[in-house]
Amino acid sequence: MLSRLMSSSIRSLDRECNCTVRLLDDSEYTCTIQRDAKGQYLFDLICHHLNLLEKDYFGIRYVDPDKQRHWLEFTKSIAKQMKSQPPFTMCLRVKFYPPDPAALREEITRYLVFLQVKRDLYHGRLLCKTSDAALLAAYILQAEIGDYDPGKHPEGYSSKFQFFPKHSEKLERRIAEIHKTELIGQTPETSELNFLQKAQMLETYGVDPHPCKDVSGNPAFLAFTPFGFTVLQGNRRVHFLKWEEVTKLKFEAKTFHIYANQKEDKKIILTYFAPTPEACKHLWKCGVENQAFYKLEKSSQVRTVSSSNLFFKGSRFRYSGKVAKEVMEQSAKIKRDPPEIHRAGMVPSRSCPSITHGPRLTSVPRTRRRAVHISIMEGLESLRDSAHSTPVRSVSHGDSFMSSRGQMVDGSEASTSAVISDEAYSPSDSVLPTPVAEHGMEPLARHLNGAPCSIDEEKDSEAGTSKEGQAAEFGPGRRALRMVRSRPSPPSDVEELNKFILSVLRLFLVTIGLLFALLLLLIMLTESDLDIAFLRDIRKTPEFQQFHFEYFCPLRRWFACKLRWMGGFLVSK
């Protein structure tokens, strides 16, 4: 009896696992979940912990053992998605950036979005010009430390904070000047809202960059924003397609295709190559979800999409959440007292610190905090001299293809290309750094604001327990560095021919399988007792009579004999 109780308790423990989710303020939420628990259960626990109702903008991100980032799917089991042994480590992040942060119903939601956008600014994902950068940093300063106080804030106090991957003394002085003179009296809530409204107008708002290469081998970053699909190269946005213009997203292996209709008589096809097939599939799924969220009117319009034109080939995926319009309508119905917000203030941050050089920094030295940004800078170094936009295949009237370098077809580049930062803006060095030597990263060192920095990985990352797995959450820099060094060439004609032959073979095998299944179904129907004119005519033919007496009846007797023997064998046992 005791052994039974012990075994049942052990089995119940095996069905449970620990899960840690790092929140946007870098605090951690730990819970115990069942092994068969789905992602929605964990997400609801986190939202209840945060007292968050406008939760459809957020998601849970994790890194698999192959160091590939993923969004946790809420309709599937957590354990099956993680592909690793517990305890599980994940991160809460903004998955769908609100098109208008001011329209958010509750302040708690705006605060969490503020933390995410501040993190984007710190990691170099939110790029802007010098004037915009100074104002954004001043808003952060006002939200965190309040009004300028000469007694508390000595000369050069703004240099004690890290807002960007890299910045200059001139920019620090400008940040302090704005904070001292223009933001006096603003509450943290007002400063955060002003920060979001300013960030919303930037070209890189809501950008979660995916490192890729175009058909010429030039590095590029693909991203999905609340307003459409964008491509970044160097310090420019070289392509922008509104969600209404995007018609189809496809991928095969490492190749990603975007189909769009910019005008009634012109179709655009963009082709890019991801570092790995897994990265390409993640890119495709992100695009499908963003397009469904921002483009559709109702979630009932969501359809299952395939990564290929052939039904038996490729991946199938369906977005399972609400769309933006439904989220806004649901938010308008919220009627409760505003929940209390516990702002992180000056608490040191693992991945997005804007903290002073006081005693709090003993566990996270300034050089270590900047090391991760150097790795991002090195990973994106090849974008400095990249002045090429992606060659575009333009289809006019459905039958003509053209390629162009440096501009889109019919001069439409002027409407989509935009400078997102200037050379004088020091934070833009995170995507426009000094070229990297080919021998590796270890001997490299940089000096930022007089502090020497080595290229060590940051000890505490945003996702995963291993250093390599954690580095993936900080952005595409390190993965882009590996991709830049290897520089995979576009598929050759032989590879394209092999893909075509494989597609034909798949089609042939599927056709043979369908014909065989139809033949079996027809035999079952003709040998059944169904009295249908069509079947009666078949039964009267000499061919069927011969098949029935010479093949079907002996085969049926053989199966019946085997079944009787197996039944007798099981009864005797």
pLDDT digits (tens, 9 = 90+) for 390-401: 334 434 333 332
- Which CATH architecture describes the domain 210-332? Roll (2.30)
- Other Cβ atoms within 10 Å of 53 Cβ, number: 17
- Which CATH architecture describes the domain 101-126+128-200? Up-down Bundle (1.20)
Q: What is the value of pTM for the model shown?
A: 0.67
CA-to-CA dists, residue 409 to 257, 266, 386, angstroms: 17, 9, 19
Q: How far apart are CA 477 and CA 293, in angstroms?
A: 27
Contacts of 22 (CB under 8 A, 6+ apart): 28, 89, 90, 91, 92, 350, 462, 463
**Residue entry with tokens 């708690």:** 108
Band (85; pLDDT cuts 50, 70, 90): confident
Helix (H, G, I), strand (E, B) or coil at 241: strand
Q: Closest Cα partner for 378 from 425, 466, 448?
A: 448
Residue 457, pLDDT above cutoff 80: no
**DSSP E strands: which ranges in 264-314?**
266-273, 305-306
pLDDT at residue 348, rounded to an integer: 34
CA-to-CA dists, residue 20 to 363, 462, 474, angstroms: 22, 11, 18
Among 218-227, 234-243, 260-269, 467-476, name the most confident range: 218-227
The CATH code for residues 17-94 is 3.10.20.90
pLDDT at residue 43, rounded to an integer: 96
Range with the lowest mean pLDDT among 129-133, 282-286, 403-407?
403-407
For the segment 229-258, what is each residue's pLDDT rounded down to a tens digit?
A: 999 988 788 899 999 999 999 998 899 999
Q: Which contiguous run of DSSP H or E holds residue 213? A: strand 210-214
For the segment 91-101, what is each residue's pLDDT rounded down to a tens digit?
A: 999 999 999 99
pLDDT at residue 567, rounded to an integer: 85
**Contact between residue 97 and residue 57 where contact means Cβ atoms under 8 Å apart:** yes
Residue 189, pLDDT above cutoff 90: yes
Contacts of 27 (CB under 8 A, 6+ apart): 344
Band (536; pLDDT cuts 50, 70, 90): confident
Range with the lowest mean pLDDT among 29-33, 412-416, 477-481?
477-481
Q: Given the DSSP bridges, would you call strands 228-233 and 236-242 parallel, antiparallel or unpaired? A: antiparallel
Band (111; pLDDT cuts 50, 70, 90): very high
Residue 406, pLDDT above cutoff 90: no
For the segment 471-490, what is each residue's pLDDT rounded down to a tens digit?
A: 333 344 433 333 333 444 44
- CB-facing half-sphere around the CA of 564: CA atoms within 13 A: 6
Q: Which two tokens stand for residue 314?
A: 């490729």
pLDDT at residue 205, rounded to an integer: 94
Contacts of 187 (CB under 8 A, 6+ apart): none
Share of the chain above pLDDT 70, in %: 70
**Contact between residue 87 and residue 18 where contact means Cβ atoms under 8 Å apart:** yes
Average pLDDT score over residue span 372-377: 36
